[in-house]
Amino acid sequence: MNSIWIILAGVLATVITRLAVLWLPKKAKESKFLFTLSKYLPVASFGLLIVYSIKNTDISSPPYGFPELIGLIVVIGFQLWKDNILLSIASGSVIYLLLVNVILL
């Protein structure tokens, strides 16, 4: 029974964080600051997301985060060179997956 309450608590917390902006007072929604936020917050959020998604990398034992580093360099390089997001994701991921699953086994 407690399980259902735990899941519901998770649903409620998620709904609140996702919908919070809709419940802001009208004045706040139309403010200039919210406009600045909607312009610059996305790019800053991706900075946060990169750190968030890579933070569990273990750099204290082999392979010391080298596959991640190489993968990232490939992604950044392809993105700067070809400006094609799907291509950058695919090339970086394939090289990373080959490194950790085949080459470094």
Partner 1 sequence: MKKILLHTLPVMIVYLSLGFGYGLLMQQNGYGWIWASASSLFVFAGAAQYALVSLLVASANPISVFFLILVINARHLFYGISMYSRYQKTGRYKWYLMEGLTDETFGILNSIPEDDIENPTKFYFLVTILNHSYWVLGSTLGALIGGVFNIQVVGLEFILVALFTAIFVSMVKKKDLLVPGICGLLISLLSFFFFGDQFIIVAMIGIVLFMVFLDGRKMVEKHE
Residues that bind partner 1 (CB under 8 A): 2-3, 5-22, 29, 32-38, 40-55, 67-68, 71-72, 75-76, 78-80, 83, 85-86, 88-90, 92-93, 96-97, 100-101
Q: Are 100 and 71 in contact (CB under 8 A)?
A: no
Is 20 or 62 the residue whose CB approaches partner 1 more closely?
Answer: 20
Q: Are 44 and 81 in contact (CB under 8 A)?
A: no
Query: Whole-number minimum distance, CB 99 to partner 1, in Å?
Result: 8
CB neighbour list of residue 104: distance below 8 Å, 6 or more residues apart: 63, 67
Query: Whole-number minimum distance, CB 62 to partner 1, in Å?
Result: 14
Q: Are 87 and 81 in contact (CB under 8 A)?
A: no
Is 7 or 64 the residue whose CB approaches partner 1 more closely?
Answer: 7
